[in-house]
Chain A
Amino acid sequence: MADKILHAVYDDDDKLMDAVKDLKASNFYIDEVYTPFPVHGLDKALGLKPTRLAILSFIYGCIGFSFAIFMMNYIMIVDWPQNIGGKPSFSFIENMPSFVPIMFELTVFFAAHLMVITFYLRSKLWPFKEAENPLPSTTDDKFLIEIKFHGDGKALKAAVKKTDVLEVNIIEQKESK
């Protein structure tokens, strides 16, 4: 059971990337990395599994697309038949070109909104949630690697010191957590 946390702070994303690669190369498990912006290639360097959000986005898009077809068919053809472009055919397929912008918009709308909501749920984020990042400056210009360990962690500290690190903090884990 890990009882201590090491925080290594960096002031540059390239330094952070090099450090992550070095630490992974010497087989240390990195629990979390806090960065002010998405760092390109960090997920690969950390060995994270590829996101499945893309698959969901496709499915959400399909739902939006189907919803648009259902909605436009009901509104414009079934419930209150409309004369579209001077061609009163009252057939969905013949009036389809005029519905394409709506199909497109709803596909994007569903994919985007449901994807954001999924992302929030999956990351356990909600409005007024208290921030979890240990160092407020990781929202500004600092990058932080968090590694949990127990014992004295000599090898870990030595390895972290070898990287181009700005400062290293060791935090004793509180009981109440």
Chain B
Amino acid sequence: MADFSVCYEFKRKINKIGLMYKVSKNIKILSFSLMIIGALGLAFSFYSAPKTIEQAKEMVADSHGDSHDEDHGAVSSHSGEDSHYENDAHVENDAHSNSHDEHLLHKLQNRPWSALYVAALFFMFLSLGTLAFYAIQRASQAGWSPLLFRVMEGITAYLLPGSLIILVILILSSMHLNHLFVWMDPDVVAHDKIIQGKVGYLNTPFLLARAVFYIAGWNFYRYISRKYSIAQDNSSDISNHTKNFKWSAGFLAFFIVTESMMSWDWIMSVDPHWFSTLFGWYVFASMFVSGITTIALITIYLKSKGYLEKVNHNHIHDLGKFMFGVSVFWTYLWFSQFMLIWYANIPEEVTYFITRIEDYNLPFFGMIALNFIFPLLLLMNSDYKRVNWFIVTTGIIILVGHYIDVFNMIMPATVGDKWFIGIPELSGIAFFAGLFIYVVFNSISKAPLEPTGDPLLKESEKFVY
């Protein structure tokens, strides 16, 4: 257990300036160039998206040469969950084919928006997953992790800009600038009995109000926890630590409810007919493993630059165990969701997976390899979890895999079979990666890298796996 007196004596001896991280020039150049490239790429994708039905048809004809693809699109929307236009049995034949063309236009127009939204969600999830991990460390008073608190706090600094960007995208969607959320379109709702039944929950003002509520709650905890964490550095008792413990426990209860609702609102509702009761957990597992991976990658980076001297392979080993364990947990939830729906084969549910297997075969199954088989085999051996390049390699695979996971959650509903990982998607990743790196490293440089006043610091230093 922690020896408080030793800890405080130790604290006084430290030269705090030596523990400060300074953002290197390379990081700044990297983050700004990523942001600029990303912003230019996104601007180009928005500019080159079709404006009219004719342009959309032309684009499809140009890129695929024959009309075969258009037939395919029609087939997919018959079978797919995004067949809201077809749900009305009274639509005339002529109007029917017009609605297909309009649908095609919407899909193509959605692509840059979806690329933006997927990347924004993914990077926000890194931060939110880390915040949940951080709160668990605080609430459980874990002894091994206090040395990594400042890294985690740095990553969670991105939560504020990241979640506000999501809010802005939601507001823009509610202003009908895109068709990410079909249920926001009154015409669609008017012809759709299933969505009509959900209008009490699934309506634009309530969605935005909820989003503001979640974002305010998460960021409030992040703010207050960071404040107490910094205050603990220079305090002579552990009152800040205790307060942090209480707020963290409260936050976790708040988080698991709001996270679940967030996943219905921001992700599941792009497929407004489909629902899955464990979707919140599934999204949580995805953000949790990506967040832990980010902690490991940034810790290893800082160590390679000579910071975080006291963090050793035991801490990396523990992060590796979490990466391994939560990857398996994610697979368990993915499979539980998939298998029940696949086995029961109920049309309104199974269309979700039919679209993904037919139109998204490679990302859908490739993701299982990246998120399950690679971490399982690479991180199974205890010794490998202590080797930095193993953690980094697996970490990059996990991050790519979970980007594709978010991609698979959004894209099939918004762009249908017109997906590709091209300029819009890569630009989205580049832009948000740049912003993420800039905000995170900037925040890490704002406080000493060691939470010198933490009562469990000594235990963390001595920690041996």
State the A residues within 8 Å of B (CB).
Answer: 41, 54, 58, 84-87, 97-98, 100-101
Least CB distance from B365 to A in Å reads: 12
Which of B173-181, B263-271, B335-343, B436-444 faces chain A?
A: B335-343
Question: Once the chains bind, are A98 and B339 in contact (CB under 8 Å)?
Answer: yes
Question: Once the chains bind, are A86 and B339 in contact (CB under 8 Å)?
Answer: no
Least CB distance from A64 to B in Å reads: 15
Question: Once the chains bind, are B382 and A97 in contact (CB under 8 Å)?
Answer: no
Question: Once the chains bind, are B345 and A85 in contact (CB under 8 Å)?
Answer: yes
Interface positions, chain B 368-407, Cβ under 8 Å from A, are 380-382
| Chain A residues, Cβ within 8 Å of B335 | 97, 100
Check A41/B382 contact, CB under 8 A, given A85-B343, A86-B345. Answer: no
CB 8 Å contact bits of B335-377 with A (1 = contact, 0 = none): 1001100111100000000000000000000000000000000
The size of the chain B interface, using a CB distance under 8 A, is: 11
A to B CB contacts below 8 Å, 17 in the list = A41-B464, A54-B382, A58-B380, A84-B343, A85-B342, A85-B343, A85-B345, A86-B345, A87-B345, A97-B335, A97-B338, A97-B339, A97-B343, A98-B339, A98-B343, A100-B335, A100-B339
CB 8 Å contact bits of B38-66 with A (1 = contact, 0 = none): 00000000000000000000000000000
Given contacts A58-B380, A98-B343, 7 further A-B contacts (CB under 8 A): A85-B344, A85-B345, A86-B345, A97-B335, A97-B339, A97-B343, A100-B335
Least CB distance from A54 to B in Å reads: 7
| Chain A residues, Cβ within 8 Å of B382 | 54
Nearest first, the 9 A-B pairs at minimum CB distance are A85-B343, A97-B339, A97-B342, A86-B345, A85-B345, A98-B343, A100-B335, A41-B464, A100-B339
Closest to A97 in B: B339
Closest to B338 in A: A97
Closest to A41 in B: B464
Least CB distance from B195 to A in Å reads: 28
Q: What is the CA–CA distance of A100 and B332 in the complex, to the nearest angstrom?
A: 11
Q: What is the CA–CA distance of A100 and B340 in the complex, to the nearest angstrom?
A: 12
Q: What is the CA–CA distance of A54 and B380 in the complex, to the nearest angstrom?
A: 10
| Chain A residues, Cβ within 8 Å of B380 | 58
| Chain B residues, Cβ within 8 Å of A84 | 343
Q: What is the CA–CA distance of A101 and B343 in the complex, to the nearest angstrom?
A: 13
- Of residues B342, B343, B344, B381, which shows the largest number of chain A Cβ atoms within 10 Å of its Cβ? B343
| Chain A residues, Cβ within 8 Å of B464 | 41
Q: What is the CA–CA distance of A100 and B380 in the complex, to the nearest angstrom?
A: 20
Least CB distance from A17 to B in Å reads: 12
Least CB distance from A18 to B in Å reads: 15
Least CB distance from B286 to A in Å reads: 20
Q: What is the CA–CA distance of A171 and B338 in the complex, to the nearest angstrom?
A: 65
| Chain A residues, Cβ within 8 Å of B339 | 97-98, 100-101
Q: What is the CA–CA distance of A101 and B339 in the complex, to the nearest angstrom?
A: 10
Q: What is the CA–CA distance of A87 and B353 in the complex, to the nearest angstrom?
A: 15
Q: What is the CA–CA distance of A100 and B339 in the complex, to the nearest angstrom?
A: 9
Q: What is the CA–CA distance of A97 and B337 in the complex, to the nearest angstrom?
A: 11
Least CB distance from A58 to B in Å reads: 7
| Chain B residues, Cβ within 8 Å of A54 | 381-382
Q: What is the CA–CA distance of A54 and B383 in the complex, to the nearest angstrom?
A: 12
Closest to B380 in A: A58
| Chain B residues, Cβ within 8 Å of A85 | 342-345
| Chain A residues, Cβ within 8 Å of B343 | 84-85, 97-98
Q: What is the CA–CA distance of A47 and B380 in the complex, to the nearest angstrom?
A: 24
Closest to B382 in A: A54
Q: What is the CA–CA distance of A86 and B338 in the complex, to the nearest angstrom?
A: 16
Least CB distance from B314 to A in Å reads: 12
Least CB distance from A48 to B in Å reads: 15
Least CB distance from B358 to A in Å reads: 15
Q: What is the CA–CA distance of A84 and B343 in the complex, to the nearest angstrom?
A: 8
Q: What is the CA–CA distance of A100 and B342 in the complex, to the nearest angstrom?
A: 13
Closest to A55 in B: B381
Closest to B342 in A: A97
Least CB distance from A117 to B in Å reads: 22
Least CB distance from A44 to B in Å reads: 8
| Chain A residues, Cβ within 8 Å of B338 | 97
Q: What is the CA–CA distance of A107 and B343 in the complex, to the nearest angstrom?
A: 22
Least CB distance from B67 to A in Å reads: 31
| Chain B residues, Cβ within 8 Å of A41 | 464
Q: What is the CA–CA distance of A101 and B342 in the complex, to the nearest angstrom?
A: 14
Q: What is the CA–CA distance of A54 and B381 in the complex, to the nearest angstrom?
A: 9
Closest to A40 in B: B464
Q: What is the CA–CA distance of A86 and B350 in the complex, to the nearest angstrom?
A: 13
Q: What is the CA–CA distance of A102 and B345 in the complex, to the nearest angstrom?
A: 20
Q: What is the CA–CA distance of A97 and B365 in the complex, to the nearest angstrom?
A: 13
Q: What is the CA–CA distance of A131 and B2 in the complex, to the nearest angstrom?
A: 38
| Chain A residues, Cβ within 8 Å of B381 | 54
Interface positions, chain B 96-131, Cβ under 8 Å from A, are none
Least CB distance from B382 to A in Å reads: 7
Least CB distance from A62 to B in Å reads: 12
Q: What is the CA–CA distance of A97 and B336 in the complex, to the nearest angstrom?
A: 10
Least CB distance from A41 to B in Å reads: 7
Least CB distance from A105 to B in Å reads: 13
Q: What is the CA–CA distance of A98 and B338 in the complex, to the nearest angstrom?
A: 10
| Chain A residues, Cβ within 8 Å of B345 | 85-87
Q: What is the CA–CA distance of A101 and B338 in the complex, to the nearest angstrom?
A: 13
Closest to A85 in B: B343
Closest to A101 in B: B339
